[in-house]
Amino acid sequence: MCGIVGSIGKINTRKYLIDGLYSLDYRGYDSAGLAFLDSSNELKIFKAVGKVEVLDSIAPKEFESSIGIGHTRWATHGAPNETNCHPHVSSHKEIAIVHNGVIENYRALKTRLMGYGYSFESETDTEVIANLLEFNYRKNHDVLDGIRRTIDELEGSFALAIIVKDQPDRLYFMKRSSPLFIGLGDEYKLLASDAVPMIKYTNKFVDLKDDEYGYISKEEVALFKGYDKLEPEITHQSPEFLNRDLGDNPNYMIKEIQETPQVITRLIDNYFDGEKFLFNPKMIEAIKKSDDIIFIACGTSYHASLMGVKYMQYLGKRSEAYVASEWAYFPVFTSKKPLYILLSQSGETADLIRCQKIINSRGSINIAITNTKGSTIERNATFSCLLFSGLEIAVASTKVFSAQVCLLALLTGAIEKHTNVVTHLSVVTSALEKIIENKQDIENIASKIENASMIFFIGRGNDYIASMEASLKMKEISYMHCEAFAGGELKHGPIALVDKDTCLIAFNSDMSTNLALRNNVKEIEARGAKSFVISYSSFMKDDDAFLVDNVKSYLSTIVMVFVSQYLAYYVTLHKGLNIDKPRNLAKSVTVE
């Protein structure tokens, strides 16, 4: 989940590296570092524990260099200290690297290299790669041959930017399972974990594929796989969807929450032309012919996939959802014509990539639903559906959840050939706009629950799914202990935890369960807990905490989760915590 950048050629090296790391710190912010060759071809390394701001303060304000690499870290091997911070340098100081990914066989490689006299300072798997590269390079002093040998020996995932001290005119790279892009400028070339750091410099990119390696110079891209030289495939990115401008917003989370209505409108525009749906007809036909629709996802995307299961079951399809990290190791095959739908905001989720490899090895059809065009999952899917949500920077996903549920609803409408889903979604956007207007009322609720010892989120049916996502969001950024339960399950054990310091948030959007849910609320109140009911306005009670406009029941999760995003936001704001960058988390989960 780390972020890497690199540059070579006629460009302000320091500015690109530091600015690039700022733009990638959503991938990890335990520590940061950079390396460059100065005008005397000496390797200079600067590292700092903490966010990129700390590195920015200690690195020279100016330096003469035409080649450099940088890194912002989410720790996997070794504590976030200066020794474990990237870049890492080989024992003989010939090679410096930054790395995103996890090397599974690093212990065996480390033991072997120690037998050849190599020493290690850090606890990281990355330092093993640096020494292995140097060891293989020293065999015949051919960097490309050394990289090729190293790729063959490594097990796991990696995206690397590599400086070789006696090759100052080339910046080397290698990639497997972790994202890496090349940016093309006239007299400079760039590397980064995604296009965001490079979009101010170019809109032309090369999206590297697994086991590709090579080098960039100020004028050239040399790309290889195995012993074959490849022709780079150039793609273009729109700056509109890579915009990091906060505008008048104090942080990215609130900006992204409030972009949700526009995201839904944009999705409708991309998948419906006013008369007919615009999904790939072959994809629609594949869904119709399948006998089992299997959703696989992680975290927030998994909760969106639970709505997808309900939509497919409504169409008469057998359907289920699995957590990717579990299915990857315990895959389930129960039908003759399965179709898999993979949901990922980044399209680079490591657990999901592992699942996709299993699916593809069986020749099964899979559909990627992602926000990132050209990502690993999108590229390797049979079909893909983009979310067009724009860049999501805050670690806690908000607008993408709504986009995923919206897209699944549109897809269901396309399969069923019912265009009224578009009208229903327009009602949702109006309901969201009204919630935005009344967000101060949600802040008032937040002030009443922020000191609770524990928060229960409950609901029934779709509202139970909303409760699960609401609980996750509150955990992620406020660090409060909270749990989600189906309303009727409280009395089967969890109610034993309730005391006067417990708070209950109940989502109530279904008339058929309205009375049952309110009875569950009374059961909790009788044990001394404070309760707050978020309800449809059509069956409100005088003591309900917040009302939302009615939308169609199959879309209720969008509006209830939207309220919960504000709730988590305001609790965290009142606690004075870092809203966009919660502890121990990173945005793009590129490690298993």
Among 2, 85, 298, 482, the active-site one is 2
Write out the CATH class of domain 438-583. alpha beta
Overall average pLDDT of the 469-491 stretch: 95
Which stretch of DSSP H or E encloses residue 310? helix 299-314
User: Is the pLDDT score of 208 beyond 60?
Assistant: yes
Give residue 15's pLDDT band: very low, low, confident or very high (50, 70, 90): very high
Residue at 559: amino acid letter: V
* 299-314 and 462-478 helices, crossing angle to 10°: 170
Give residue 448's pLDDT band: very low, low, confident or very high (50, 70, 90): very high
What is the maximum span of the chain, computed from C-alpha positions, in angstroms? 80
Query: Annotated catalytic, 587?
Result: yes
* 439-449 and 420-437 helices, crossing angle to 10°: 60
The whole-number pLDDT of residue 136 equals 96
Give residue 358's pLDDT band: very low, low, confident or very high (50, 70, 90): very high
Higher pLDDT, 561 or 348: 561
Give residue 589's pLDDT band: very low, low, confident or very high (50, 70, 90): low
pLDDT tens column, 65-103 = 999 999 988 667 777 788 889 899 999 999 999 998 888
Three-state DSSP class for residue 532: strand
User: Is the pLDDT score of 237 beyond 90?
Assistant: no
User: Is the pLDDT score of 239 beyond 80?
Assistant: no
User: Is the pLDDT score of 588 beyond 80?
Assistant: no
User: Please, which residues have CB within 8 angstroms of residue 492's CB and are 6 or more apart in sequence?
Assistant: none
pLDDT tens column, 369-397 = 998 887 889 999 999 999 988 888 888 99
Overall average pLDDT of the 412-432 stretch: 97
User: Please, which residues have CB within 8 angstroms of residue 572's CB and are 6 or more apart in sequence?
Assistant: 477, 478, 579
User: Is the pLDDT score of 172 beyond 80?
Assistant: yes
- Residue-range domain boundaries for the chain: 3-242, 245-436, 438-583
Q: At residue 72, what are phi and psi to the nearest 5 degrees? A: -120, 130
Overall average pLDDT of the 334-341 stretch: 94
User: Is the pLDDT score of 348 beyond 90?
Assistant: no
Closest CA to 214 of 175, 168, 166: 175
Give residue 63's pLDDT band: very low, low, confident or very high (50, 70, 90): confident
The whole-number pLDDT of residue 587 equals 58
User: Is the pLDDT score of 439 beyond 90?
Assistant: yes
- For residues 548 and 561, the answer to whether their CB atoms sit within 8 Å is no
The answer to whether domain 3-242 and domain 438-583 are alike in fold is no
CA distances from 422 to 107, 407, 436 (A): 54, 11, 21
Q: State both tokens at 492.
A: 């089967």
- Categorise residue 66: left if φ over 0, alpha if ψ from -120 to 50, beta otherwise: alpha
The whole-number pLDDT of residue 513 equals 96
- For residues 492 and 464, the answer to whether their CB atoms sit within 8 Å is no
What span, in angstroms and rounded, lies between the C-alpha atoms of 266 and 410? 12
Percentage above 90 pLDDT, the chain: 79
Three-state DSSP class for residue 239: helix
pLDDT tens column, 134-155 = 999 999 999 999 999 999 999 9
What span, in angstroms and rounded, lies between the C-alpha atoms of 410 and 418? 9
Q: State both tokens at 407.
A: 């897209």
Among 189, 399, 475, 587, the active-site one is 587
β-strand partners of 570: none
CATH number for 3-242 (one of 3.40.50.970, 1.20.1070.10, 3.60.20.10, 2.20.25.190): it is 3.60.20.10
- For residues 298 and 589, the answer to whether their CB atoms sit within 8 Å is yes
- For residues 252 and 393, the answer to whether their CB atoms sit within 8 Å is yes
Q: At residue 170, what are phi and psi to the nearest 5 degrees? A: -135, 135
- For residues 205 and 237, the answer to whether their CB atoms sit within 8 Å is yes
What span, in angstroms and rounded, lies between the C-alpha atoms of 471 and 463? 12
Transcribe 187-229 into DSSP letters.
Answer: SEEEEESSSGGGTTT-SEEEEPPTTEEEEE-SS-EEEEETTEE
User: Is the pLDDT score of 472 beyond 60?
Assistant: yes
The whole-number pLDDT of residue 350 equals 86
CATH for 245-436 is 3.40.50.10490
Buried b (16+ CB within 10 A) or exposed e, 224-248: bbeeeeeebeeeebeeebbeeeeee
What span, in angstroms and rounded, lies between the C-alpha atoms of 324 and 327? 5
β-strand partners of 503: 455, 530
- For residues 129 and 213, the answer to whether their CB atoms sit within 8 Å is no
Overall average pLDDT of the 111-118 stretch: 96
The whole-number pLDDT of residue 99 equals 94
Percentage above 70 pLDDT, the chain: 96
Overall average pLDDT of the 542-560 stretch: 97
Give residue 35's pLDDT band: very low, low, confident or very high (50, 70, 90): very high
User: Taking CA 483 as the corner, what is the angle to CA 481 and CA 484, rounded to the nearest 5 degrees?
Assistant: 155
Average pLDDT, the chain: 93
CA distances from 260 to 56, 79, 95, 392, 536 (A): 33, 37, 45, 11, 20
Transcribe 61-90 into DSSP letters.
Answer: S----SEEEEEEE--SSS-SSTTTSSPEE-
Query: Annotated catalytic, 522?
Result: no
- For residues 580 and 25, the answer to whether their CB atoms sit within 8 Å is no
What span, in angstroms and rounded, lies between the C-alpha atoms of 478 and 71? 27
What span, in angstroms and rounded, lies between the C-alpha atoms of 138 and 146? 8
Start-end of H helices in 418-555:
420-437, 439-449, 462-478, 514-525
User: Is the pLDDT score of 582 beyond 80?
Assistant: yes
What would you report as the CA-atom Rg of the chain, rounded to the nearest whole angstrom? 25
The whole-number pLDDT of residue 282 equals 98
User: Is the pLDDT score of 566 beyond 60?
Assistant: yes
User: Is the pLDDT score of 222 beyond 60?
Assistant: yes
CA distances from 520 to 266, 275, 499, 523 (A): 39, 44, 15, 5
